[in-house]
Amino acid sequence: MTRAELDDLFRTSGAVGWGWTPYEALCSYMDEAAREKAESLCPGPRSVLAAAFSYYTGDRPGDLSLYARGRDYHLVLTERLGTVCDILRKKYPMYSFTAGADSSPLPERAAARLAGLGIMGRNGLVILPPWGSWLFLGTVLTDLPLDLPLAAPSPDCMGCGRCAAACPGGALRETSFDPERCLSHLTQKKGELPPEQADRIRTHPLVWGCDVCQRVCPYNAAPRKTELPEFREGLIDDLTPDMVEGLTNRQFKERFGDRAFAWRGPAPLRRNFALQGHAAGTDG
C-alpha cells in the first residue's frame, strides 16, 4: 500500500495525522506483559500505524476537562480505526489488523514519536500543528510488513517551560513526571485521598481532569477546531452534584456510559464535589 493510499484512508477516518513504525522498534518501550498481550492480539506483528484525532471545540467554560465533554474517545477511535482495519483486511485478507485506543498494550505516545507524528511536548503530549495538543491517539497493529520510508522520530517541543511553571500540582519536573501530583490523575483516583492530594482538589476548578498545561502551551495559542461530530455535538460542559448523587454504578453507566469521565463510576466525582464544597441540591 502506498503512502498516498494510506493518507487517503486515514483522512477518511477523520484522523488529522498518521505515521508508522516497525513493531520491533516499539518493543523497547514495552514490558514483557505488554508484548505478550500485543502478540496474542496479532501473532507475529510487524508494523504499528499511529493516528491522531483532534477533539478541540474551543475553550468553553465548564468543570470537566475538554477531552471528557464529547463522546468517549475510546469508543470513537475504536470505531473509526475499526473501519480502517476493515478496509485493510479486504485489501490484505491474509493479514491481521487490530485497532487500539488507550486500553491497547501498545504505548501510543512512543509509537507516535517513532512514527514522526507531531512534536513531543514536555508534558508528554503529542503536539500536531495546527491542532495543537488537543489530540487523541490510536493505533493499528498488524503483521503486514510495510514497504514505506521511515520518518525521523518526532522532535521535542521548544522547551519554553510554561507547562511546568503553570502546573498547579508541580507534576512536571525537569526530566520526569510525577503522576501523584497531577490534577488530572488525582481527580480520577479511587478512594480517599491523602490530605496533600485532597487539598489540591479543593482548590481545583475542575471536577474531572486538568487542562492547565495545555492552555498555557504556545502551540495551543490558536488551535484549529475538530471536525468530528462525536466531539462537537451533545457536549456536557458541566456536571453538578445532583447529576451523580444517589446513582448506582449501573444507573451512572446507563446515563453517562458513552462519556470518558464515566469509566471510574460516580464515586470519584462525588468525592471531588465534596472536597470542593459542593453539595447535592445546592448551587455550591
224-262: per-residue pLDDT in tens?
999 999 999 999 999 999 999 989 999 999 999 999 999
Say what angle helices 3-13 and 73-91 make with each other, to 10 degrees: 140
What would the pLDDT profile of 141-190 be if each residue is shown by its tens digit?
999 999 999 999 999 999 999 999 999 999 998 778 999 999 999 999 99
CA–CA gap between residue 143 and residue 162 (Å, rounded): 41
pLDDT recorded at residue 85: 98
Among 3-7, 153-157, 214-218, 279-283, the minimum mean pLDDT is found in 279-283
The cell numbers describing 214, all together, are 495545555
What would the pLDDT profile of 24-44 be if each residue is shown by its tens digit?
999 999 999 999 999 999 999
Q: Which residue has the cell 517551560?
A: 161
pLDDT recorded at residue 38: 97
If one counts every other C-beta atom within 10 angstroms of the C-beta of residue 253, the result is 16
CA angle (258, 217, 269) in 5-degree steps: 35
pLDDT recorded at residue 283: 44
What would the pLDDT profile of 91-119 be if each residue is shown by its tens digit?
999 999 999 998 889 999 999 999 999 99
pLDDT recorded at residue 284: 40
pLDDT recorded at residue 279: 59
Identity of residue 265: G
CB 135 within 8 A of CB 222: no
119-120 vs 126-127, strand pairing mode: antiparallel
pLDDT recorded at residue 280: 56
CB 126 within 8 A of CB 43: no
pLDDT recorded at residue 176: 85
**56-60 long-range contacts, Cβ below 8 Å, gap at least 24?**
56/131, 56/132, 56/134, 56/223, 56/224, 56/225, 56/226, 57/225, 57/226, 57/231, 57/232, 57/235, 58/225, 59/215, 60/235, 60/237
pLDDT recorded at residue 253: 94
Half-sphere exposure of 135 (CA within 13 A, CB side): 33
Q: Is the pLDDT of residue 278 over 80?
A: no
pLDDT recorded at residue 9: 97
CA–CA gap between residue 83 and residue 99 (Å, rounded): 9
Q: What dihedral angle (degrees, nearest 10) is formed by the CA atoms of 27, 92, 135, 240?
A: -100
Confidence band of 75 (pLDDT split at 50, 70, 90): very high
pLDDT recorded at residue 174: 79
Identity of residue 16: V
pLDDT recorded at residue 197: 96
- Pick from 248, 240, 253: nearest CA to 72: 253
The cell numbers describing 180, all together, are 501523584
| The total number of residues written for the chain in this structure | 284
State pTM to two decimals: 0.94
pLDDT recorded at residue 104: 87
What residues are annotated to the active site?
A: 102
